[in-house]
Amino acid sequence: MKGALAILAATIVAAAPALAGCTTDAFCFSCNDFPTPDGGTTTVAASSSTSGTGGEGGNIFTGSGGATSTSGAGGADACAADTDNDPKNCGSCGNVCELLGAFPKCVAGKCAIDKCAAGHVDHNGIVSDGCEYSCSVTNGGVEICDGLDNDCNDVIDDNFDLTSDVNHCGSCGTVCGLGNASAKCMPVNGFPECVVDTCKPGFSDLDKLAQNGCEYVCPVSPPTAEICNDKDDNCDGQINEGNPGGGVPCESTCPGGVCLGECTAGTTLCAGSVLICIAGAGPTLETCDGKDNDCDGVVDNGFDFQTDPLNCGGCGNVCSPDSAIGGCSAGQCVIAACAPGHANLDGNPANGCEYTCPVTPPTVESCNGLDDDCNGIVDDAAVIAAQKPPTALCYPTPGTPCAGADFQCLGAPGWKCNYGPGVEVTSSGTLAVVETKCDGVDGNCNGQVDEAFSDLGTACDNGLFGACRDVGQRVCDPGDITATTCDLSVLPDAVPGAPSAELCNNVDDDCNGVVDDGIVDDMALVSVTGGSFLIDRYEASRPDATAQSPGLNESRRCVVPGRIPWTLTTHAEAAAACASTGARLCTGAEMQAACEGAAQSAYPYGASYQPLTCNGLDFDGVPGGTDDDVLIATGAAATNGCATALNVHDLSGNAAEWTSTVTGNTGAPQNLSIYLTKGGSYKTPALGLTCQFSLSRFASNAILPDLGFRCCHD
């Protein structure tokens, strides 16, 4: 108990500055000054003492009201408080009754409200929330209309009905005061407003505007029944309403004083302050309206309902059929005549002349898609049959698409030949002078098929070049009958190839439109004392040459194996062929240097003659050959070893070759240069086949089947 008392004392001392004069919101017993129900306070000292042994000691509370001591011994708690009535130990020691806005008390060990603190009221009777309603009594506790709870009964402005109180209409202090009227407060359109209850004697509320009260001053007071005196006797804002004193029969305009039919007697009318007589209806001209207008006792006399088209069978029944002149017969509407341009084809008068003539005025029927005679039949076949043109004008020529054609009435277009499929006609339906369709049909029946397409059957191609080009024939375009197209399937049908590297073969291999362009000639580099030069590896051949034919095309020289060499050429032609590719004819010395090689051999293949190696006079031919005295394909003897160490072929045998070395002149009269030829040919014996042999010479105009050439380049 010593520990508990020390903690309580320390708590009280520490809290003293903050809790001096405890709050009135929650009256507690952890404060220095405890309010008491009688308005006093009990003060707890800022120090305490404890005593006891073997457990918690007793608490000592010291205050102005005296001291209370508790003590205990052993292990059990003990206090001297009255737990049945002590609000600081209510029900058990240390259970303090702390209630919001209330002075607490302890009754039979339960916290209860002794009384509420100032500004607090207990309305719900629940002890746990204390005096929960914050309110201060005003106006001496008498409730007035001011927006406050004056009597603190938790109801603001009770006993005041703002929806009906004339002194507080809609809000406190809004007093209903209206001129010349007693007012009342009532909801108008959902909101309380001051309105007129009753008017003062001699006044009336005519405009029904509450803000100006009963604004109308009655001319007669008190109000009476309305009389004919030019005054507002009943105070309703109107004078002589209801014709007071009037409405009495007076003098009459009826014939003979007897009112028949539409004739009526006069009546009196209040006008100002006197009664006058308003005459009644007199007789008028009789009209067909089911009434006795002339007041002679007979209704609608003078009207003939049997024949009058304006009143046929009864008044107002006017016979006016559409597009016609109406008539009346036996009380029924009929058609007297049709309006111009119309006809009554169905005979029904109810819809009048229902048919509109397409031709006005009607005329003789013809083939034009119109009902010329207005009888309801367009292009009446029985009438127009005699108008049909002669059949011969359709040119029904047998064997043509026009066979069997005849004229037919087509309505608005008139008479037209009934041509069948395949016949070409103009927009007016006549035969076309010139065919417009490429379809294999004689469309204009003139004995010629597709004559307008003059390119039919002519040669064409796919628009590509060289090896990629494919040729065909112009035919009718199946996708467009007004045009032709190139049919590449027509034989001979060469399958075009894809572009490839250009070869020296008189073919545009790369399909660029240029034959044998961009070719790099196959040449070997020969080094000699003082320099070097390039020489063709093979004897020159024509672009169209093959292994069996020397060819005819001389557009450029070719340096390729497997071709019969280019012979039967003059010296000038050979030199020009070399020059056209940027080369030149070799000199005799260059030919010898290329043939003998660095070893300066007698033959291109070695120092001694080998009869079966190169194509000389005693050559037995290539394997499979049957004639040894002929030119063979360039490089064909390579299988026998007829090549230099630099892989230059046929420098011995096959075709003798022109050089640029001049050895003399033929003299007059031609004065032709004589040029050295090298290598010998297939007609040359062994001695003339050596690299060094230089006795073979020809005039520049020599043309021989065994004399060809090859080119060199610096």
Is residue 667 within 8 Å of 649, Cβ to Cβ?
no
C-alpha span between 437 and 597 (Å, rounded):
74
24 pLDDT exceeds 60?
A: no
Is residue 568 within 8 Å of 703, Cβ to Cβ?
yes
Q: Region of 345 please: left (phi>0), alpha (psi -120 to 50) or beta.
A: alpha
Instruction: Name the more confident of 28 and 106.
Output: 106
Amino acid at 162: L
Structure token digits, residue 82: 């009255």
Residue 492 pLDDT class (50, 70, 90 cuts)? low
Distance of CA 387 to the CA centre of its chain: 60
What is the pLDDT averaged over residues 163-170?
88
35 pLDDT exceeds 50?
A: no
173 pLDDT exceeds 60?
A: yes
- The pTM assigned to this predicted structure is 0.41
If DSSP codes are grouped into helix, strand and coil, which group holds residue 451? coil
Query: What confidence tens digit (pLDDT) does each residue in 437-491 have?
Result: 998 898 888 888 988 898 998 988 888 887 788 888 999 999 998 999 998 887 6
Please state, rounded to an integer, the average pLDDT across all residues of the chain.
83
Query: What confidence tens digit (pLDDT) does each residue in 335-370 have?
Result: 999 999 899 989 899 899 999 999 999 999 999 999
Is residue 704 within 8 Å of 571, Cβ to Cβ?
no
Residue 5 pLDDT class (50, 70, 90 cuts)? very low
Distance of CA 506 to the CA centre of its chain: 59
515 pLDDT exceeds 50?
A: yes
Amino acid at 364: V
Torsion of CA 121, 122, 123, 127, to 10 degrees: 170
Q: Region of 291 please: left (phi>0), alpha (psi -120 to 50) or beta.
A: beta
Most confident of 21-25, 42-46, 287-291, 499-503: 287-291
| Residues across the chain | 714
Structure token digits, residue 83: 């737990």
pLDDT at 628: 61
pLDDT at 443: 87
- Lowest model confidence (mean pLDDT) among 70-84, 421-435, 624-638, 641-655: 70-84
pLDDT at 13: 31
Torsion of CA 440, 444, 447, 450, to 10 degrees: -30
If DSSP codes are grouped into helix, strand and coil, which group holds residue 194? strand
- Lowest model confidence (mean pLDDT) among 35-49, 303-317, 429-443, 661-675: 35-49
Query: What confidence tens digit (pLDDT) does each residue in 38-91 have?
Result: 444 443 333 333 333 333 333 333 333 333 333 333 333 457 889 989 999 998
Cα–Cα distance list, 161 to 143, 145, 156, 170, 184 (Å):
13, 10, 11, 9, 12
Q: Closest Cα partner for 415 from 387, 441, 456, 447?
A: 387
Residue 261 pLDDT class (50, 70, 90 cuts)? confident
Query: What confidence tens digit (pLDDT) does each residue in 586-621 have?
Result: 999 999 999 999 999 999 999 999 988 999 998 866
Most confident of 7-11, 353-357, 627-631: 353-357
Q: Among residues of the chain, what percentage have pLDDT more than 90?
A: 42
C-alpha span between 255 and 637 (Å, rounded):
158
Angle at 528 between CA 522 and CA 532, to 5 degrees: 45
**Unique residue bearing structure tokens 């001297």:** 80
Is residue 195 within 8 Å of 184, Cβ to Cβ?
yes
Query: What confidence tens digit (pLDDT) does each residue in 640-666 have?
Result: 999 999 999 999 999 999 999 999 999
Q: Closest Cα partner for 661 from 695, 705, 623?
A: 695
* Those residues with Cβ within 8 angstroms of residue 606's Cβ, 6 or more apart along the chain or in another chain: none
Radius of gyration of the chain (CA): 73
If DSSP codes are grouped into helix, strand and coil, which group holds residue 522? coil
Structure token digits, residue 433: 């002078």
Cα–Cα distance list, 680 to 334, 574, 575, 589, 711 (Å):
131, 17, 19, 15, 16
Angle at 185 between CA 182 and CA 188, to 5 degrees: 120
Q: Among residues of the chain, what percentage have pLDDT more than 70?
A: 87
DSSP string, 57-92: ---EEEETTEEEE---BTTS------TTT-TTSSSS
pLDDT at 620: 66
pLDDT at 70: 36
C-alpha span between 473 and 456 (Å, rounded):
8
Instruction: Name the more confident of 708 and 341.
Output: 708
C-alpha span between 267 and 281 (Å, rounded):
11
What is the pLDDT averaged over residues 569-575?
97
List where CATH 3.90.1580.10 sits in the chain. Answer: 501-714
Residue 495 pLDDT class (50, 70, 90 cuts)? low
Is residue 441 within 8 Å of 432, Cβ to Cβ?
no
**Unique residue bearing structure tokens 């003939």:** 304
pLDDT at 31: 42
Instruction: Name the more confident of 257 and 648.
Output: 648
Which architecture characterizes domain 501-714 according to CATH?
Answer: Alpha-Beta Complex (3.90)
Most confident of 276-285, 431-440, 696-705: 696-705
309 pLDDT exceeds 80?
A: yes
Give the H/E segment covering residue 497.
Answer: none
Return the DSSP state at 649.
B
Residue 494 pLDDT class (50, 70, 90 cuts)? low
If DSSP codes are grouped into helix, strand and coil, which group holds residue 316? coil
Q: Closest Cα partner for 544 from 557, 532, 533?
A: 557
Q: Closest Cα partner for 222 from 203, 196, 205, 241?
A: 203
**CB-neighbour burial class of residue 604 (10 A; exposed 0-12, middle 13-18, buried 19+):** buried
pLDDT at 220: 86
